[in-house]
Each structure stands twice: as C-alpha cells, then as structure tokens.
Chains A and B, each alone.
Chain A
Amino acid sequence: MAEPYRNRMELLQGTLDLLILQTLLWGPSHGYGVAQAIRANSGDLLQVDAGSLYPALHRLEKQRWISAEWKVSENKQDVKVYKLTAAGRKRLTEERSRWEQITDAISGVLNPAARKES
C-alpha cells in the first residue's frame, strides 16, 4: 500500500485556530479527536502534530473561544473535552470571512484574467 501523501505543511497559527474552531462546531471533542477530524476532513493532507495542536488548544481555551471539561470515558479514563463557546462561534465567523478574503486576494494575483468582481 502506497504511503498516503503526507503534506506536513506548517500551518500558520491563525489557520490552525480556524480549523480547530470549525471542527468543534460539529460538536465537542477531545484533542486527539480534533486532530483525527482535521486529518480525515482534509483527505489526509493536513496532519496536525501534537506539538502544534495542544498549544493551540490551550491558547484558544485561554481566550475563552473554547471551553474545556473533564469527563469520564467508557474506559473509565479521564478525558478533557473541548467545546465551542458563543464567543468562539463569533470568532469562527470572523476568521472564515477573513480566510475567504485572503484566498480571493491570492487567486486574484495568480489568475488576473479570471478575477471576479464580488
């Protein structure tokens, strides 16, 4: 089996935040679950390593865009579960529109002819 292409892309800190917030929009999850979800939804392209993920999660928690709770899993283990807050939801919207602005800008530079007026 060929190794799936791993693009260990250095995600900008802002974009990682965006991905995490978006992932949590679908429902609360623990850290490992968030990483798996991002990987799955990006078709294995984006593999967030723990060294980026956990600092990001803690940062977001400090900013109160996500909140954390300790729950007990089925295996009787303590699990820290993150959830999106209302402020986080708002932040997500802002980040999304910013992201779209940036991508539009980049496309505009790459394809000047196909530039759309929006």
Chain B
Amino acid sequence: MKQWWNWRKRESELEKEIQHHLRMAEADRRDRGASTADAQAAARREFGNVGLTKELARDAWGWRWLQDLFEDVRYGLRVLRQNPGYTSAAILAIALGVGINVGIFSVLNGFALRLLPIPRADQLVSINQVLHGHFSRNVHGEGGLVSYPEYRDYRDHSNVFSQLAAYEPFVDVTLAGVHPEQLLGALATCNFFEVLSEHPAQGRGFTDSDCSTPGGNPVVVVSDAVWRQNLSADPALIGKTILLNHTAYTVVGIMPNGFTGTEVIPTAFWVPITMQKTFDGAGDYLEQDNLSWLTMLGRVHPGVSLKQVHADLSVIAGRIDQRHPGRSTSLLIAPATLFGRPDERALFLPIASVVLAAFGLVLLIACANVSNLLLARATARQKEIALRLAIGAGRWRLMRQLLTESLLLSLAGGAVGSLLALWSFEGIIRFVMSALPREVSTLAINLAPDFRVLAYALGLTLLTGIAFGLIPAWKSSRLDLNTALKNDGMQSGSGAKSGRLLRHTLVGAQVAVCMVLLLAAGLLLRALSYAQTIDPGFDLKHVASVALDLKVQGYDVNRATVFTQTLRQRIAAIPGVTEVAQAEDAPLSHDWSGGEFSIPGKSGDLSIEYNRVTPEFFSVIGVPIVRGRNFGPNDWRGNSVVIVTEATARRFWPGEEPLGKTLREDKREYSVIGVAKDAQVSHLGESDSTYLYFPATPEYSLRAFVLTRFAGDPAVTLKAVRDAVQSLDRDLPADVARLEDYLEVWRTPSRIASGLAGALGGLALLLASIGVYGMVSYSVNRSVREIGIRIALGADSSKIMAHVLRYAMRPVLIGTLVGTGACAAVSWILSSLLFGLNPRDPIAFIAVPVFLLLVALAASYIPARRALRVDPVIALRYE
C-alpha cells in the first residue's frame, strides 16, 4: 500500500522533472535567438519520446510488474465486461467444473484429512501396529490394534506423550427401556477425556479410580445425542442408572452438544475399559497379551515431532516383539483424524483417487470448452492484437495480458463454483446418506471449508485458468502481423491452418474424455441394473428375519434353547406364517462363518463358508434338497452330519456320488447326508457357491437368526413376530426385518456409485455436447463466405453440404477413435468392481460415440443449411 502511494507521488514528480527539462531546453534555445514556437518544438524533438522515457524511468524503480499487472487487470475487466455473453458462458463452465471438484474435495477432506474437532488437535497422534514375520494373533476388529498389556507398555515407557489413551470403538450394546435400542459406544481408558481435552457439559468425566478394579466401576458418560433422543433429555440424569446389556451403569457425565467422539460413526457413550467383561461376552480381554482390540490415541508434548514419537515407540515395540519370537512390529504414527486406521485408509484411498480423477476429467472437459471459446474470440480480436503488436508491445507482454484475462475468468468462475459447492454439498451428502442403511446413516464429517479446502479451490482455479488460457494466449501472440492487418478480419476458409488444427484437437480431446467418462458411467449403471435383477438363487420375498443375541442378555445354553424353541412355536402360530426356521447366520446378512475343510486321506484344505440351520431352513428360503435327505431329529445329538451344496460336491467329488462321503475339519469328521441346490446365500455376486449346512445344535441357540416365511401382509407379520419376541422377554431388542432388505444393503454401495457416475456422466455429456456444438457451428459459420462464393460459382449445394458435414465431423470421429482406445483401458480397470459384467460391453462403447456424432451432425447441419439458403450476395458480404 505504501508502495502504491509512493508510486503515485513518483509519477507526478517524474512528470514535473520532465516538464522542467523541457522548459530549460526551450529557454536555452530562446536565448540563442529562436522563436518561442520553434524553441518549444526543437526542445521536444531533442528530448525524444516522453512516454518511453517515463517507462524506462519506471523500470528503474522496479515496480514495473506491479503497474503492468494493474493495467492488465483493468484492461481485462473492461474486455470481459464488453462481452457479457462469452464471459458468462466461460464463467458458467468453469464454475461447474471447479465447483464439483471443490465439493468432492471437501467431502474427502472431512473424512480423511481433517484433524479431530477438538482443541489443539495437532498434538494428537494415532498409533497403529503393523506386524510382520511369523506370528499368530487374535484379532477383534483390525490387525493394527493393540492389546491392553501392550498399551500399558507404551504408556509406561514412552517419554513423548503427556497422556496416552486407548479405547475400543464400536461396542454394540442394548440400551434397555420401553423400546430397547442398539447403541454403538466405546470402552475407554480413564484418561480418555484428558487426552482429548474435552470434558462433559454436565457431570464429570472419568477419574483414575474409575479404572482401578476390573468390573468394579459401572459408570458411563453418554453423548448429547443419546441424552436427547434415548433418555428424553432428562435434566436430572446424572446419578441415575441405565441398563446396558442388562448391567446397571450410573450416568456420571453428559458430553456437550456436537461432540461425537473420535470416529466417523458417532459414539453414543463411553464406559471405563475395566468394564470390558460385561460387553463383548467373549471373555476377559484385559489380560490377553496377543489380542488386537484397542486403538491408541496420544497427546504429545508441545514441540515433539512425529519422527520422535516413532523413534521412541519403536524401541518399546521392539521390546514387545522379544516376547513373540519371529515377529517384528513396525509402527504407523499419524496425526489423528476421523478415519485414520490403516485398514480404513486402505479401503478409502483407491476409491478417493478414482473419484477425484473422474471429477477432474469433467473439469478438463469444461476447460477444453472454455479454451475453444477463447480461441474463437481470439480470432475475432485479431485486429486489436495485431495493432498492439505493431505499435510495439512485446509478445510476452501481450501474452501476459491475455493470461490475466483468463485468470480473471477462472477466478470469477472458481469463486462462484466454490461458493455454490460449499453451500450445496452439505445438502447433497445428507441426501445420499439417507439412502444408506441405518447403521451408517449419520456420519460425523465436517464439511465446512477449512484452509485445505480453500487452498485446493484457489490452486485449482489458478491451474484451470492457466490450463485453458495458455494455448489461446500463446497462439494469439504469435500472429502474423502482415496478414492480420491487411485482412478485413474475415479470412476465407475457417482460419489459419494451425488455428483450425488446434480447435479441432480440442474438440477431439473433449470427445475422447467424454467418452471415457460416459463409458465408465454406463458400465456402472449396467452393473447396477444387473445387481438389481440378479437372482440370488433363493426366494427372498416374504421372509422375515430377526436377530437374537441371547448370550449378551445373560442367557445360558439351556435357557436359550428353550427360548428359541418356544419362540419358533409362537411364531408358527401367527396367522399367515408357513414355515419357521433358525440359523446361525441369515442369508446375505454380513455375518458368516467359515472354516477349512478337507477330505480325509487327501491333502489340501478348502476354505468354505457354512451355516448351522434347523431343517425348516431349506423350505423357508426356498433352496431344495436335490439328493439325499434333510436333517432329522437324530442329527441333533452327536451325529456329525453335513449337507453340501452342488458346487461343493462337484469340488470335492467330481463325478462321484457325494452321499456318504466324509469331510474333515480340524479333528472332526462329518458325513454327507444330502445335497442342496446352489444359491448365493452368503455374498451376492460370488461365483463360487461352495457352502455347507450343519445342523443347529443347542449351543448355537445363543446367537441365532429366526427366519419366518409368511404369506400375509408384511407389516402385520413383522409386528406379530416382534410381539412374539417381546412376549417372551420384554428387554430383548427385536429387530425384525425382511430378508429383501438385506439385499438392499448389498446393493447400496453400487447404487450410490452408479448414481454418482450417472450424474457425472450426464454432466460430462452436457459439457461435451455444448463444446462440440459450439465449435462445429462456429467453424461452419466461418465458412459461410466460402459457401457463398461456391454457390455463386455454380457449385451443387448438396455436394457442398456433404463436404461441410464431412469436414465438421472429422475431429469428432478422431476423438471417438482415441476415446475408444482409452475406454478399453478404463473398462479393464473397472471390471474388477463389477458383477462379472463383460468389460467390453458393446452398448456403452457404441451408444456414446453415436450420440456425440449425432450432436456434431446437428451442429454442422443447421448452420450449413442456413448458409446454403442465403443469397450468395449477402453471404459474400457476411462478416
């Protein structure tokens, strides 16, 4: 600012200085006898070019660039204002392209890059282990988690942390009440809230005494959401008890509004880690040394770097490894984010890259559009540019000015696009989320723009401006002055050779990129329709499923067996119910069991999934037994029998009779008593339907699904089943769902992806069509004169039409060829994500180029026809 003010002052001083010089020179001449007029003229002549002198003097000050920039901006703004049509078209295209990119980046940022939304989050690090070598490990969750003894080692022997906490995320419990609810909470060490520097809004957090004895302190801190939604915002909640998994917990604190924990899925409550045994139900995790179940989160001392943390902790890891010979541990230390564990990230990164690439391609198409627009404008401005070059502007200076114009355009477009994106993406994401299954329908991502998003927006905007502006600017400055000045602005033909080539290349490139995007979208859409219509091989409709976790509710085996039997009887009595069965896993429910099976005598294990079912299971889900028999009442005690699927039989005993053969798992042997039809009962879209069915012996009643086939109204039946469960045990959560709904969950990711792809593809097609149409019709318009001449000379109009069409379609055709090649590569990559769809799906490959060719056809036909109709005399004068 001070510089600028100085500059104005210096300008006026320079002017005064020069005026003084001229006056002195004039005075001298007058002294020597010249007349006033002559003296003035001579003095001026002798001085030389005042303007040039001033410029050179300004150069000496070193502020030239600033002043030039100022001038460029002013000039650019004026040019843009004078051409509102072209300016708004360009800004629109850029806003669209940049906007969606900024929007998607803010989403990705919210997931993976943003630090946790707590004070001084830059001091928080997450620590994960990566195990190498020969080892065995029990894993509850992900392999990178640590055990409690390992956590204590790290905590006690490291010097870099002011506090180190550990917690188990996603602990699934039932909150008892009028309507029992499933909640996801966390088991945490008692310094958890210290580490986060976040404290309850009401009551207190954990103290060290809360973690003193295992099982001794049933206290809980609940989240604001749970307090409001599940506990009716009871103002006197602190001190009262709530029932989690049938154990009473005293509420000691309520977290502030907006605090949702340290995971992407909001945490409902926190319980001291010493209460672990009442959850999970699988035993005492606290003393198990070789179990992965805890995430570690630490607050480092100020000024400690990640490297130091890594070095410090690696020493401890090495010591731990000594207890497990053959194993070596490396550590992953990273700033704590919502999505930070390596397993999550490994899932996330490929998807994020593909998404960013796809959105980037759309931006590229938009850039090509704008570039073409600028090239077209440049031809119209030839005279202006030629004049400036002729007066003496440097080519580089000219290019800078044109680039400044482009940057102004892109800054305007980028600003508009970013604002729109940040304003609307929140709504879009919410809309998408509402389509997700209930468990993940609220995600704690913050989409508000932070510096990373803004930096990305700015960087992308500048890059865009340079990308679409560079070539037209460079081309314009390389004008051949002679031809440009001599011509009346309208050249015969469609412009200089290289100009045409450039425009056509851009059109071709647009077509190619658009093809790739649309092909990808088309393939995904076809995969979606395929997934929607895929026949899983069994009858999903009219089956209700209810999941029962009786172990967690405190049942033992006998009580559970009685419970399930009675429940099945009660459900069978519901009007409209035809069959009731029980199974360890419901089909397509994301729960599955598997094991290694082999044939006695032969080597080689096969990993096969299996289910434990009651005999009614097969008729409930409509999978017939094609050979042999179903399970009978004798199979419940001790008989080791198994029913295989056709695929399994083919696998193990190709060409032989499977009945009576034996399968071995570990030490137990099973004999085959029946063969069931193949069906995709576990994972949708699997090609290998090997599967086994075992009888559901009593111990498997503790955690089971009850499946009901009914013929009546689904809503009524579901309610009746729910009532049946609650009549036996009021505190049992009865989550009854239709089996078809499980299918929905499988389809949801592909549905979201396809929706996204479809929208993106549509956008790309729109942009490309506009670009193709604009460019082709522009080219044809420029040939109007030539057409007029030809007609005046007597050419056949249909021949001209053919020539024009051929000529205009050429770039599109070339683009199509290039695009096809690129598409082949892309579809090969995508084929791994699709349900066995043929990567060379002809429809997508053909439909897109045909569509764009049609667009090009229309774009050339309409102006050509108009041109042919026009009176040649008028056409010749056409400017």
Which positions in A face B, CB cutoff 8 Å?
30-32, 49-51, 54-56, 58-59, 62, 70, 77-80
Contacts and interface: CB of A to CB of B under 8 A. Distances in A.
A58 B13 contact: no
Contacts of A77: 20, 23
Contacts of A54: 14, 17-18, 21, 53, 56-57
**Residue among A32, A49, A59 with most chain B CB within 10 A:** A32
B53 A78 contact: no
Given A49-B48, A51-B48, A80-B16, A62 B53 contact: no
Contacts of A30: 17, 20-21
Contacts of B59: 55
Given A50-B47, A55-B60, 5 more contacts: A49-B47, A51-B49, A54-B56, A55-B56, A80-B20
Interface string B7-21: 000000110111011
B23 A31 contact: no
A62 B17 contact: no
B21 A31 contact: yes
**Residue among B13, B14, B24, B62 with most chain A CB within 10 A:** B24
A32 B46 contact: no
Contact of B53 (A32, A50, A59): A50
Interface in B14-38: 14, 16-18, 20-21, 23-25
Interface residues of B, number: 22
User: Chain A binding site: helix, strand, loop or mixed by DSSP?
Assistant: helix
B61 interface: yes
B42 to A, nearest CB: 13
A77 to B, nearest CB: 6
A62 B60 CA distance: 8
A31 B24 CA distance: 10
A80 B18 CA distance: 10
A31 B13 CA distance: 13
A80 B17 contact: yes
Contacts of B52: 51
Contacts of A78: 16, 20
Contacts of B16: 78, 80
Nearest to A31: B21
A18 to B, nearest CB: 17
B21 A50 contact: yes
A78 to B, nearest CB: 6
A79 B49 CA distance: 21
B416 to A, nearest CB: 42
Contacts of A79: 20
A55 B56 CA distance: 6
Contact of B60 (A31, A49, A58): A58
A102 to B, nearest CB: 24
A80 B12 CA distance: 12
Contacts of B57: 54-55, 58
B539 to A, nearest CB: 89
A31 B17 contact: yes
9 contacts: A31-B21, A32-B21, A50-B53, A51-B52, A54-B14, A54-B18, A54-B56, A58-B57, A59-B60
A54 B22 CA distance: 13
A32 B24 contact: yes
Contacts of B56: 51, 54-55
A62 B47 contact: no
Contacts of B53: 50-51, 54-55
Nearest to B49: A51
**Residue among B48, B49, B56 with most chain A CB within 10 A:** B56
A79 B19 CA distance: 10
**Residue among A32, A50, A56 with most chain B CB within 10 A:** A50
Interface in B55-90: 56-57, 59-62
B20 to A, nearest CB: 6
A32 B48 contact: no
Contacts of B60: 55-56, 58-59, 62
Nearest to B51: A51
Contacts of A32: 20-21, 24-25
A70 B12 CA distance: 13
Interface string B82-102: 000000000000000000000
Contact of B13 (A49, A50, A56, A80): A80
A30 B61 CA distance: 19
Given A32-B24, A55-B56, A50 B18 contact: yes
B362 to A, nearest CB: 50
A115 to B, nearest CB: 39
Contacts of B62: 62
Contacts of B47: 49-50
B40 to A, nearest CB: 15
Nearest to A33: B24
A33 to B, nearest CB: 8
Contacts of B46: 49-50
The 3 closest A-B pairs by CB, nearest first: A55-B56, A58-B60, A59-B60
A78 B23 CA distance: 12
B25 to A, nearest CB: 7
**Residue among A31, A58, A59, A79 with most chain B CB within 10 A:** A58
Contacts of A58: 14, 57, 60-61
B392 to A, nearest CB: 14
Nearest to A73: B20
Nearest to A75: B23
A50 B25 CA distance: 11
A31 B19 CA distance: 11
A65 to B, nearest CB: 13
Nearest to A49: B48
Interface string B722-755: 0000000000000000000000000000000000
A112 B16 CA distance: 51
A56 B61 CA distance: 11
Contacts of A80: 13, 16-17, 20
